[in-house]
Amino acid sequence: MSTQPAQQPVYRRRCYLVRHGHVDYFSPDGQPLDPRNVPLSVQGEDQVRQLAEVLASVSFDRALCSDYPRARQTAELLLGDHSVELQACAQLREVRAGRLREIPPAELEQRVCYAYDSFADHDGSFMGGERWSDFDSRIMARFEELLAEPSWQSLLLVSHDAVNRLLLGWALGGARGCAAGLEQDNACLNIIDIDMQAGRIQRCFVRVVNLTPYDLPKTCQRHTVMERIHAQLSQQTT
């Protein structure tokens, strides 16, 4: 008599997906700073500390962040005294923008405020910089490597606006187009549960999106991320 092989169990893993806290992209005298090196501002540190209070009871057994200072600082503040090792990863860097000075002034508002509208376009890019298809490949390759690791159940992943949008879009069905509508405010929390069986993804559940403990009702968040960046740019050119 033949017997059917025992079916492997389904394991539910949880990803705590966080965007870094507030940073200043311009110096006090109005000069633009290198976005790859800017640290958290005092405001950003306070935002992250409030999020850390929310996550204080969570036990992480894996922690990754972008290798940009603002992401690493955010992750370190969130981890606090956790014994888990924090791994910084260049693959999780923010999408690379093109040279803003090459954008005609008359097109600046449209190209910056609605930069995510091209997310689903086959040849679309982020403000003339990195192509969305290349960005997608870079982020998903690292995330799939993470999912292939059998050892973790609770992951802290700290990165950037576009990175979070892409991963949330993936969890919601894999369409990049929905990423344009998934706002990611500073120091926000997203939670994704992922069911795995025999090393394969079975299903995803998005439990939390863009939660900001420092402003739960979003009364101070009426502008989008990119609208706020455009406002800062406009102040420097007027």
- In the block, tokens 């006090």 appear at 28
Measure CA 77 to chain center.
Answer: 16
* Domains detected in the chain: 10-237 (3.40.50.1240)
Task: Report the DSSP beta bridge partners of residue 16.
Answer: 156, 191
**Residues sharing a CB contact under 8 Å with residue 37, sequence separation 6 or more, in sequence order:** 68, 69
Q: Is the pTM of this model over 0.95?
A: no
DSSP letter at 35 equals: T
User: Own/partner pairs for 22-28, CB < 8 Å, 24+ apart?
Assistant: 22/47, 22/186, 22/187, 23/70, 25/229, 25/232, 26/232, 26/236
The CA radius of gyration of the chain, in Å to the nearest whole number, is: 19
pLDDT at 3 (0 to 100): 63
pLDDT at 179 (0 to 100): 86
Mean pLDDT of 193-219: 95
Q: What average pLDDT does the structure give for the chain?
A: 91
Mean pLDDT of 50-79: 97
pLDDT at 105 (0 to 100): 82
